[in-house]
């Protein structure tokens, strides 16, 4: 099929150059929304249509599976449009649905099915499924093609076992989490255990190298790989086995990588190896071949996974070797932004200029100025969510062009989704959590709710079975089966058996003890259900279940996220209690559970239904929405507290903010709360320093209290007067929850009232005005301080 003449007319001249470039290396660098991904997509279509490249010979790497799906859909549509013109002499969109479907499925069969388009992990695990049996590592370890892929927590348990049991190391000095992180780093930088060992200057490093080696032994013993191996092992395999490399080199003539600024050393190496078959010698033969990468250093947001944007900056030197030293042959710059209204773009450009580690570039608007950016100050996170959801409902109703799919809510951490989800459910607005689970579908939330349900209604055998050994407390599957069978035979429910010590004591010694302990927990809290405030009840159950403690010992980032989610659940309980008390309604566990059941039972969306998208900023990379809400712009939350002492990390947070802002096409709303719940108590929150970096004349300030919504001003931001003196205290001691206004008693100084809470990293101190002594600043963990 020949492309029609208008095929490339949807591109500007620079994009066209990138798309029409046939062989050799090419780097496209450009800011957000300048059509990099569009150029990459059209390029694939052009290779097939114009240059007759077989789709099988194309390798296209995207950053997420969703991006890969979208890219395939776009290519499918492009082809279908071409075919419609040629075969029906009619525009695709004007054809009857039946003919459109016929065209699409034909394109799928002839083009899309054979293309290798996906993430690094998905593409290279596919290669390993075919070839891993040809790989031997430096210690002679081998894997078979049916290998398992260990997730983060499997990997973490292995490391822990090696540290504590096999090597008998002190897990305080060799914290399994940081050891695992160091191993991941080594893999992402391309080091095998032996190479890593040579690099280590000190004892600690050498021990970690030993753990790394033992860890690879265990993985091989289980015929398993971790995520990082999915990239490192193909790299090694290609280096080791010329025949294998040659096969894949011959297969992939044209390689395309989107979001190249977020590649790490190992990913770079694999692209380099596939681009030249003369291993390591940099002698390129670009006949009928190309390597095409697109990226934006300002959107590099994965340095915690060793992404390194200097790889992008070095592309021309590395891949352009042997070609004429002419910049323009190996690089295209795109300088027009097609995505965002001018005001949004201007705000993004001004923000990112505050970074020192960057190369300035041009990004000109092509769209009208659009409306001002709205900045909301909400009283707390509930008011923030209320405002956001009301705006969405209002805009959706007033604008026929917008459907639910036009909106997205972007936050820094997953645990922030809960208040938004509750209101979306309340108003029956369809929504999706992109790249994660809806709050009430998350495993840890279901587990904790299962405890609450079991306590509320012990006859509920399903929930009891869910939690009887969660977290693990030595009640094995066979014990549970025995108990369930006994309940069936006796015609009673499971709880009655568990609750009957004589029956339980017939089990083998350890199991009996564990079952009795578990039954004890349920019984204890059941007795409190009528009298104890719901918040206390829930806090007590979370504590007694050992669930959070277990997550703390796992120590992975994923476990950390789960803990945050459990805290968010606790916040939901405390919010629920407060609301109902305000309305003078009785607050019971049962009512709370009813509310959560409604949230989780909302009809699941059908694929393709328009829905509001909720996601973390990291998950939003590459996407776009007509209306974007960027929420939780508070010191300690965004930028997150870890970055506040580290200038490089702070710049990465700023890039993340730039990514968030540049997702918006027409409207951008940014919000922050004055107070935020942290484990149930309200903590004052300080507005994010990024807000002070936005151009004042483009931002309109709004404020919403519980009583209503007020527009304060257009064009001038209230300045934070005391930003340096106090930082956010979202990290304050979660157990104590000191708050301004608390009456306290100090062992030596007597009674007083807290006037300020200061937080410096993990250390909280408080200012107390003592009745007789004036104000003193005190570290509450050292001083013997009590609330009265």
Residues forming the site for ligand ATP (CB under 6 A)? 10-12, 15, 30, 32-38, 296, 299, 338-339, 622, 624, 662
Question: In angstroms, what is the minimal distance from the CB of 669 to Mg ion?
Answer: 23
Does 35 show up as a binding residue in the annotation? yes
Q: Which of 15, 37, 64, 235 is catalytic?
A: 37
Q: Which stretch binds Mg ion (CB under 5 A): 36-44, 188-196, 218-226, 398-406?
A: 36-44
Q: Which helix (H) or strand (E) holds 768?
A: strand 763-770
Nearer to ligand ATP, 303 or 390 (CB): 303
* Residue selected from 37, 216, 235, 261 as contacting Mg ion according to rule CB under 5 A: 37
Helix/strand/coil for 276 = coil
Q: Are 535 and 573 in contact (CB under 8 A)?
A: yes
Does 205 show up as a binding residue in the annotation? no
By Cβ distance, which residue is nearest to ligand ATP?
Answer: 35
Q: Which of 36, 38, 377, 674 is catalytic?
A: 36
Does 33 show up as a binding residue in the annotation? yes
Question: In angstroms, what is the minimal distance from the CB of 151 to ligand ATP?
Answer: 28
Tell me the CA distances in angstroms from 726 to 730, 766, 781, one per residue in order: 12, 11, 19
36 is catalytic: yes
Residue 574, token pair as written in the block? 């405390």
| Residue 127 binds: one of ligand ATP, Mg ion, none (C-beta under 5 to 8 A by kind) | none
By Cβ distance, which residue is nearest to Mg ion?
Answer: 37
Q: Reduce the secondary structure of 11-61 to three states and give it as a string.
A: CCHHHHHHHHCCCEEEEEEECCCCCHHHHHHHHHHHHHHCCCCCHHHEEEE
CA-wise closest residue to 637 among 759, 752, 534: 759
Provide the terminal-to-terminal Cα distance of the chain, rounded to the nearest Å.
81
Question: In angstroms, what is the minimal distance from the CB of 34 to ligand ATP?
Answer: 4
Does 660 show up as a binding residue in the annotation? no
Q: Which of 131, 259, 422, 447 is catalytic?
A: 259
Does 520 show up as a binding residue in the annotation? no
Nearer to ligand ATP, 296 or 381 (CB): 296
Would the CA dihedral through 315, 321, 327, 328 be positive or negative? negative
* Residue selected from 622, 680, 684, 752 as contacting Mg ion according to rule CB under 5 A: 622
492 is catalytic: no
Does 680 show up as a binding residue in the annotation? no
If one asks whether residue 15 binds Mg ion (CB under 5 A), the answer comes out as no
CA separation for the pair 299, 658 (Å, rounded): 7
Does 36 show up as a binding residue in the annotation? yes
| Residue 660 binds: one of Mg ion, ligand ATP, none (C-beta under 5 to 8 A by kind) | none
Residue 566, token pair as written in the block? 């459990």
Q: Are 286 and 25 in contact (CB under 8 A)?
A: yes
CA separation for the pair 141, 218 (Å, rounded): 10
Tell me the CA distances in angstroms from 524 to 456, 543, 557, 613, one per residue in order: 12, 13, 32, 41
258 is catalytic: yes
If one asks whether residue 337 binds Mg ion (CB under 5 A), the answer comes out as no
CA separation for the pair 250, 275 (Å, rounded): 10
Nearer to ligand ATP, 599 or 662 (CB): 662
- Establish whether the linkage from the previous residue to 645 is cis, with ω within 30° of 0: no
Nearer to ligand ATP, 625 or 738 (CB): 625
| Residue 673 binds: one of ligand ATP, Mg ion, none (C-beta under 5 to 8 A by kind) | none
634 is catalytic: no
If one asks whether residue 306 binds Mg ion (CB under 5 A), the answer comes out as no
Report CA 124 to chain centroid distance, whole Å.
22
CA separation for the pair 245, 279 (Å, rounded): 9
Nearer to ligand ATP, 300 or 764 (CB): 300
736 is catalytic: no
Q: Which stretch binds Mg ion (CB under 5 A): 267-275, 602-610, 620-628, 697-705?
A: 620-628
Length of the chain: 788
37 is catalytic: yes
| Residue 11 binds: one of Mg ion, ligand ATP, none (C-beta under 5 to 8 A by kind) | ligand ATP
Does 243 show up as a binding residue in the annotation? no
CA-wise closest residue to 729 among 629, 644, 618, 630: 644
Annotated binding site for ATP: 30-37
* Residues of each annotated binding site: 30-37
Which residues belong to the active site? Answer: 36-37, 258-259, 299, 663
Contacts to Mg ion by CB under 5 A: 36-37, 622
């Amino acid at each position: 099929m020949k492309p029609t003449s208008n095929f490339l007319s949807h591109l500007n001249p620079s994009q066209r150059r990138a798309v029409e470039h046939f062989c050799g290396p090419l780097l496209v660098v450009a800011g957000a929304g300048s059509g990099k991904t569009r150029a990459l997509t059209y390029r694939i279509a052009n290779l097939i249509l114009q240059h007759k490249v077989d789709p099988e010979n194309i390798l296209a790497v995207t950053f997420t599976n969703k991006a890969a799906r979208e890219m395939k859909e776009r290519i499918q549509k492009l082809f279908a449009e071409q075919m419609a013109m040629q075969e029906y002499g009619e525009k695709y969109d004007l054809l009857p649905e039946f003919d459109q479907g016929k065209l699409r499925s034909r394109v799928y069969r002839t083009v899309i099915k054979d293309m290798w388009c996906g993430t690094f992990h998905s593409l290279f695990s596919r290669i390993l499924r075919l070839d891993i049996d040809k790989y031997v590592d430096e210690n002679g370890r081998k894997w078979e093609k049916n290998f398992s892929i260990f997730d983060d927590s499997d990997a973490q348990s292995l490391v822990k076992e090696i540290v504590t049991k096999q090597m008998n190391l002190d897990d305080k000095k060799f914290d399994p989490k940081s050891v695992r992180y160091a191993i991941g780093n080594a893999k992402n930088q391309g080091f095998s255990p032996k190479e890593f060992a040579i690099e280590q200057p000190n004892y600690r490093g050498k021990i970690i190298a030993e753990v790394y080696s033992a860890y690879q032994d265990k993985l091989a013993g289980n015929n398993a790989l971790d995520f990082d191996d999915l990239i490192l092992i193909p790299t090694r395999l290609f280096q080791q086995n010329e025949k294998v490399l040659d096969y894949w080199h011959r297969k992939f003539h044209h390689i395309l990588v989107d979001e190249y600024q977020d590649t790490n050393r190992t990913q770079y190496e694999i692209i380099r190896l596939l681009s030249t078959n003369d291993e390591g010698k940099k002698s390129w033969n670009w006949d009928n071949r190309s390597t095409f990468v697109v990226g934006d250093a300002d959107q590099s947001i994965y340095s915690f996974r060793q992404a390194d944007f200097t790889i992008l900056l070095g592309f021309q030197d590395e891949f352009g070797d042997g070609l004429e030293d002419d910049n323009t042959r190996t690089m295209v710059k795109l300088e027009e932004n097609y995505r965002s209204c001018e005001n949004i773009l201007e705000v993004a450009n001004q923000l990112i200029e505050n970074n020192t580690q960057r190369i300035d570039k041009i990004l000109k608007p092509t769209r009208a100025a659009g409306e001002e950016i709205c900045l909301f100050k909400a009283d707390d996170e509930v008011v923030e969510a209320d405002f956001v959801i009301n705006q969405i409902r209002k805009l959706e109703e007033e604008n026929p062009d917008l459907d639910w799919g036009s909106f997205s809510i972007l936050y820094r951490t997953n645990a922030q989704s809960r208040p938004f989800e509750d209101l979306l459910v309340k108003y029956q607005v369809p929504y999706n959590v992109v790249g994660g689970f809806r709050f009430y579908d998350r495993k840890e939330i279901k587990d904790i709710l299962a405890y609450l349900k079991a306590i509320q209604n012990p006859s509920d055998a399903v929930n009891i079975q869910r939690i009887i050994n969660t977290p693990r407390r030595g009640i094995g599957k066979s014990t549970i089966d025995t108990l369930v069978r006994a309940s069936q035979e006796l015609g009673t429910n499971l709880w009655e058996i568990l609750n009957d010590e004589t029956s339980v004591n017939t089990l083998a010694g350890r199991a009996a003890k564990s079952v009795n302990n578990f039954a004890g927990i349920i019984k204890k809290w059941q007795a409190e259900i009528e009298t104890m405030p719901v918040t206390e009840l829930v806090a007590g159950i979370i504590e007694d279940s050992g669930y959070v403690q277990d997550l703390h010992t796992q120590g992975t980032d994923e476990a950390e996220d789960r803990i945050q989610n459990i805290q968010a659940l606790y916040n939901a309980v405390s919010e629920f209690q407060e609301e109902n008390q305000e309305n003078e309604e009785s607050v019971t566990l049962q009512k709370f559970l009813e509310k959560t059941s409604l949230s989780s039972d909302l009809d699941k969306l059908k694929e393709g239904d328009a829905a509001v998208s909720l996601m973390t900023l990291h998950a939003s990379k590459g996407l776009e929405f007509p209306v974007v809400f960027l929420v939780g712009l508070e010191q300690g939350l965004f930028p997150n507290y870890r970055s506040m002492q580290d200038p490089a990390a702070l710049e990465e947070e700023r890039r993340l903010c730039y990514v968030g802002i540049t997702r918006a096409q027409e409207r951008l709303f940014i919000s922050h709360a004055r107070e935020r719940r942290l484990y149930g108590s309200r903590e004052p929150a300080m507005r994010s320093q990024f807000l002070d970096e936005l151009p004042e004349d483009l931002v309109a300030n709004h404020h919403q209290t519980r009583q209503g919504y007020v527009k304060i001003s257009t064009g001038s931001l209230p300045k934070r007067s005391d930003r340096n003196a106090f930082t956010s205290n979202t990290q304050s001691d979660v157990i104590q929850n000191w708050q301004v206004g608390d009456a306290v008693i100090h062992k030596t100084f007597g009674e007083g009232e807290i006037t300020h809470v200061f937080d410096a990293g993990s250390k909280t101190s408080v200012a107390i005005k003592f009745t007789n002594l004036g104000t003193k600043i005190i570290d509450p963990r050292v001083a013997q301080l009590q609330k009265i």
